[in-house]
Amino acid sequence: MKLLKKGAEADIYLTEHRGRRAILKVRKRKPYINAALDERIRKTRTLREAQMISLVKEFGVPAPLVLDLDITKYAILMEYIPGTTVGTMRPFRLVDACGQIGSITALLHKNGAVHGDITTSNFIASRNRLYVIDLGLASRTQRNEDYAVDLRLFREILSSGHAKSAEAAWRSFVRGYVSVIGRPGYARISKIVADIESRGRYATVV
Ligand SMILES: Nc1ncnc2c1ncn2[C@@H]1O[C@H](COP(=O)(O)OP(=O)(O)OP(=O)(O)O)[C@@H](O)[C@H]1O
Ligand SMILES: [Mg+2]
């Protein structure tokens, strides 16, 4: 078993399952959090991730197959998705992929779910499709405010992590999002984004 990545939350190992490559995602102990709370968070997110991966597939969103779950070890064994994360793409491909992130995000929202951590490293381009991963913070919700948080986070990720293509990537994302949700739906949600942002600015001034 090979350590592939050390994420903010979890260690990602490349392993094998029935002769195929598989990913073992193990949520790590955070020493600065109270032990009981840390255990509860890791359990909840591990379980949540496994459940939400299966749920989003029902909406037609590509996601890795969950192969096994060991809650006592905070571990999920899942299908390995070969490919590149959107975050590592060159600007031209990145902008295009952000359109697909937009339509996937809208598909989640339309079906009453949010991802909770929409970043360019949580989407993998593979076999001409975009797979969503890292669903530990995903949840079911019907509130436009929660959908707005997904959009706002992604726009922030673009301006902090992909400054040069941020504008074009955001426009592409919105095009993809609108194509699934429709103009009026997007207008309602982006109004909430603007409200949150103006409150945020006010808070920093005070
Ligand atoms: N099923 C998979 N197939 C291929 N690569 C994967 C898979 N799952 C995770 N990875 C790789 O590992 C990285 C981290 O995975 P993930 O986002 O699930 O963990 P994380 O701890 O939340 O990380 P981060 O804090 O970076 O978001 C991904 O960006 C991707 O490069
Ligand atoms: Mg991630």
pLDDT digits (tens, 9 = 90+) for 164-198: 999 999 999 999 999 999 999 999 999 999 998 89
9 lines ligand 1 (CB under 6 A): yes
125 lines ligand 1 (CB under 6 A): no
Residue with the smallest CA separation from ligand 1 atom 26 is 7
pTM (predicted TM-score)? 0.95
**pLDDT value of residue 205:** 54
pLDDT digits (tens, 9 = 90+) for 40-82: 999 999 999 999 999 999 999 999 999 999 999 999 999 999 9
- Does domain 84-205 sit in CATH 1.10.510.10? yes
Residue with the smallest CA separation from ligand 1 atom 23 is 7
From 2, 9, 12, 67, mutation site for ligand 1 pocket: most ligand atoms within 8 A of C-beta:
12
**Rounded distance, CA 65 to CA 11, Å?**
18
Residues spanned by CATH 3.30.200.20 within the chain?
A: 2-79
User: Which ligand 1 atom sits closest to the C-alpha of 8?
Assistant: 25
Q: What is the DSSP letter of 180?
A: H
**pLDDT value of residue 13:** 98
Superfamily of domain 2-79: Phosphorylase Kinase; domain 1 (3.30.200.20)
Beta bridge partners of residue 3, listed in sequence order: 13
Residues spanned by CATH 1.10.510.10 within the chain?
A: 84-205
pLDDT digits (tens, 9 = 90+) for 150-161: 999 999 999 999
**Rounded distance, CA 54 to CA 113, Å?**
12
Taking alpha carbons only, the member of 107, 101, 96 closest to residue 185 is 107
